[in-house]
């Protein structure tokens, strides 16, 4: 029985070994082609990210890879182009992983807070109010995605203190805490009361 199976295997190999080797070679060639395409795409992505990082304005489609979307958001928020950043952030929310999405919301929140602080420096409190509230919303979204994101926690606290320091920023609805105008120290739960 074993000899018969061995003889059949030998006969099969003699008749089919060329076809099997060709099929194996084609399989390896196709797999190598796919790997080369993925490698080239990764190189192109890295080149585009580097160009964006060095200040070149390169347009990115909304269906691009999440790394490219994040790099473009970083480029735009650095230049305070908030509307374009929001559109790309929505696309990033659809395709990005949790960490990348949290970092994207954090970048937008920072840009919004920079605009608010610029208005405050010019004593334009009414113009600053919406930017402070929007930045808080974006920090909150970043913290929902990554609760351990310390920088977002810190900056959220800064934005929250702005609301307490300037009561005109208070909205009539929402989850904002009311503050006594004479109290400049925060009443956030878990924070010690007393001298700063």
pLDDT score at 5:
78
Same domain, 99 and 154: yes
Same domain, 46 and 74: no
Q: Which residues contact 169 (CB under 8 A, 6 or more apart)?
A: 125, 128, 129, 132, 133, 162, 163
Of 14, 41, 58, which residue is a domain's last? 58
- Domain end: 42, 58, 74, which one? 58
pLDDT higher for 13 or 35? Answer: 35
In this predicted model, what pLDDT tens digit does every residue of 24-54 receive, in sequence order?
A: 778 888 888 888 888 888 788 788 888 888 8
- Helix, coil or strand: residue 47: helix
pTM for the structure as a whole: 0.67
Decide: 111 and 74 in contact? Cβ < 8 Å: no
Among residues 23, 38, 58, the one where a domain terminates is 58
Q: Which range of residues forms the domain containing residue 149?
A: 61-196
Q: How far apart are CA 5 and CA 15, in angstroms?
A: 15
User: What value does the mean pLDDT take over residues 176-183?
Assistant: 50
Q: How many domains does the chain have?
A: 2
Residue 57 pLDDT grade (very low, low, confident, very high; cuts 50, 70, 90): confident
Is residue 179 predicted with pLDDT exceeding 60? no
The answer to whether 76 and 84 are in contact (CB under 8 A) is: yes
Residue 167 clears pLDDT 80, i.e. is over it: no
Q: Which ranges in 96-149 belong to alpha helices (H)?
A: 98-121, 125-145
Structure tokens at 28: 């390896």
> Which value, to the nearest 10 degrees, does the dihedral of the CA atoms of residues 66, 71, 74, 75 take?
-140
pLDDT band for position 174 (cuts 50, 70, 90):
very low
- pLDDT confidence band for 162 (50 / 70 / 90): confident
């Amino acid at each position: 029985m074993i000899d018969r199976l061995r003889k059949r295997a030998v006969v099969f190999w003699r008749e089919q070994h060329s076809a099997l080797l060709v099929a194996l070679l084609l399989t390896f060639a196709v797999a190598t082609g796919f790997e080369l395409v993925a490698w080239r795409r990764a190189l192109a992505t890295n080149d585009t990210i580097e160009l964006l990082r060095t200040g070149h304005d390169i347009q990115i489609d909304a269906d691009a890879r999440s790394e490219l979307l994040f790099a473009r958001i970083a480029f735009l928020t650095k230049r305070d182009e908030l509307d374009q950043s929001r559109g790309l952030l929505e696309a990033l929310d659809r395709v990005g992983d949790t960490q990348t999405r949290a970092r994207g919301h954090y970048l937008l929140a920072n840009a919004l807070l920079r605009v608010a602080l610029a208005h405050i420096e010019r004593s334009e409190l009414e113009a600053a109010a919406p930017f402070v509230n929007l930045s808080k919303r974006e920090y909150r979204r970043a913290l929902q995605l990554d609760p351990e994101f310390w920088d977002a926690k810190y900056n959220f606290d800064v934005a929250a203190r702005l609301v307490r320091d300037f009561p005109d920023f208070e909205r009539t609805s929402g989850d904002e805490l009311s503050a006594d105008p004479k109290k400049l120290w925060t009443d956030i739960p878990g924070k010690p009361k007393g001298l700063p």
